[in-house]
Amino acid sequence: MTVTFQGQQYRLQEQETVLDCLLRHGVVIPNSCRSGICQTCLMKAVSGGVPGTAQKGLKQTWREQQYFLACSWRPEQDVEVALTDEKTLPHLEAEVLSREYLNDLIVRLRLQPQQTFDYRPGQFIHLQCGDDNTLVRSYSLASVPAQDQALEIHVRLVPDGRMSGWIHQECQPGQQLLFSGPYGECYYMPGHEQQGLLLLATGSGLAPLWGIVRDAIDQGHTGPIRLFHGAPSADELYLVDELRRLDEEYEQFTYIPCLDGEDAGDFIVTQPDLFCAGRVQDQALEYQPDLKGWRVYLCGNPGMVNEAKRKVFLAGTALAEIHADPFVSPYSA
């Protein structure tokens, strides 16, 4: 029996774990307790059925995606494994259908996959662009398969960003792009329809949450769904009208746009019922100080995500119920 990892085959001894096998061959795999508890040796199976014993304690979303603990899997057949941040999925093609500005900085790109592509709103893809496909960036999916035929991504123009610059300036409808996916575990899961959902985004971190909110409503979520979207100023928010309409239409959904730039205070004084003054992580906690039993989604700049993660955890959210923007992989701690 063999374990295949990064294109190499390693002979597996009788009753040996994937972790021991790789370590024995000199492959460096992060590990700590080697007892199936600390989850440091988290990996992903590319082939070979993962037994439940190797997934003990993992989040449901990770189990679904064949994540396993390398110290706890003693394969009884040939297997192929990968680190959780490796690009393990095949490349697909998509045609650019449209490109429109959602505000001065953010473009909505609609892409039509040329092959069957199953995903959950909020997951992300690796998109290849540029003249020779050398640029690869991750973008979250804002579309909902039940409502949208095409894939939707939101691309923020990053100063000197090669990829976003290319998308904003050169990308045209009709072009074929390569992508792979879906990746990530930041998506809605049915089964707890009455649970409170708290969603915090800054900037284009709204993309996955725009998908997740509509998916949750579609799937009959009845518990409160609170979306806080933060930006320095009102013109850096986007989808404001669409979100306000959704707020009016669905009683369980509340949209709270937050402005935290220098001039935001003066601006809000004139329109106090339209915007909140302050950062999303502060506003959300003020609005909902006790988050016991809630599920939380955090997407946007790492500073906000990390601070909010700590805050919502201290406010009572179980760690397993906090889904953060997945661009930071488990291996980049």
Closest distance of CB 51 from another protein, Å: 17
CA–CA gap between residue 203 and residue 97 (Å, rounded): 23
**73 vs 255, which CB is nearer to another protein?**
73
Closest distance of CB 320 from another protein, Å: 8
**Which residues does 54 contact at the CB level (< 8 Å), separation at least 6?**
36, 68, 69, 72, 73
112 binds another protein (CB under 8 A): no
Closest distance of CB 241 from another protein, Å: 35
CB of 225 closer than 8 Å to CB of 253? yes
Part in contact with another protein (CB under 8 A); list of ranges 29-37, 117-125, 198-206, 222-230 = 29-37
Binding test (CB under 8 A) with another protein, winner from 1, 27, 38, 171: 38
Binding test (CB under 8 A) with another protein, winner from 32, 47, 114, 222: 32
318 binds another protein (CB under 8 A): yes
Part in contact with another protein (CB under 8 A); list of ranges 99-107, 136-144, 264-272, 313-321 = 313-321
**Locus of tokens 């999303």:** 280
Sequence letter at residue 121 = P
**Which residues does 288 contact at the CB level (< 8 Å), separation at least 6?**
196, 198, 226, 294, 315
Part in contact with another protein (CB under 8 A); list of ranges 91-99, 217-225, 261-269, 305-313 = 305-313
Dihedral class, residue 283 (left if φ above 0, else alpha if ψ from -120 to 50, else beta): alpha
24 binds another protein (CB under 8 A): no
CA–CA gap between residue 206 and residue 169 (Å, rounded): 22
Closest distance of CB 34 from another protein, Å: 4
Core vs surface per residue 276-310: b (16+ CB within 10 A) or e: bbbbbbbbbbeebeebeebbbbbbbeeebbeebbe
301 binds another protein (CB under 8 A): no
**39 vs 252, which CB is nearer to another protein?**
39
Q: Which of 137, 162, 123 minimizes the C-alpha distance to 325?
A: 123
Classify 32 as helix, strand or coil: coil
As given in the structure block, the two tokens for residue 286 are 């003020």
**56 vs 99, which CB is nearer to another protein?**
56
End-to-end CA, the chain: 32
Compute CA 41 distance to the chain's CA centroid, rounded to the nearest angstrom: 21
Closest distance of CB 35 from another protein, Å: 5
Binding test (CB under 8 A) with another protein, winner from 309, 325, 326, 327: 309
**85 vs 148, which CB is nearer to another protein?**
85
Q: What are the C-alpha distances in Å from 304 to residues 7, 51, 141, 150, 229?
A: 38, 37, 20, 30, 11
**58 vs 246, which CB is nearer to another protein?**
58
Q: How many CA atoms lie within 13 A of 256 on its CB side?
A: 23
**287 vs 331, which CB is nearer to another protein?**
331
310 binds another protein (CB under 8 A): yes
**38 vs 189, which CB is nearer to another protein?**
38
- Pairing relation of β-strands 197-202 and 225-231? parallel
CA–CA gap between residue 133 and residue 13 (Å, rounded): 41
As given in the structure block, the two tokens for residue 72 are 């706890």
Binding test (CB under 8 A) with another protein, winner from 34, 63, 74, 99: 34
**37 vs 146, which CB is nearer to another protein?**
37
Part in contact with another protein (CB under 8 A); list of ranges 36-44, 174-182, 207-215, 271-279 = 36-44
Summarize as ranges the residues that interact with another protein (CB under 8 A): 32-35, 37-40, 56-57, 306, 309-310, 313-314, 318-319, 322, 328, 330, 333
